[in-house]
Amino acid sequence: MKTKIIRQFIIFYLTALIVGCKTTTIVEEFEPGVQLPFIKNSANECYYLDEFMPIPDSLVSGKSGRLKLRYYTYKAANYKDFINRHIILSFYSSDEKCWSLFEEYYIIN
Q: What span, in angstroms and rounded, lies between the C-alpha atoms of 92 and 70?
A: 7
Q: What span, in angstroms and rounded, lies between the C-alpha atoms of 59 and 74?
A: 9
Which H or E element spans position 69?
A: strand 67-74
- The residue range of the domain holding 87 is 33-107
| Residues of the chain under the 50 pLDDT cut | 17, 22-28
Is the pTM above the cut of 0.85? no
In this predicted structure, what is the pLDDT of residue 84?
A: 76
What domain count does the chain have? 1
In this predicted structure, what is the pLDDT of residue 7?
A: 60
Would residue 28 count as lying in a domain?
A: no
Would residue 79 count as lying in a domain?
A: yes
In this predicted structure, what is the pLDDT of residue 26?
A: 46
Q: What span, in angstroms and rounded, lies between the C-alpha atoms of 60 and 68?
A: 11
In this predicted structure, what is the pLDDT of residue 71?
A: 97
In this predicted structure, what is the pLDDT of residue 107?
A: 86
Would residue 38 count as lying in a domain?
A: yes
In this predicted structure, what is the pLDDT of residue 11?
A: 61
In this predicted structure, what is the pLDDT of residue 24?
A: 47
Would residue 37 count as lying in a domain?
A: yes
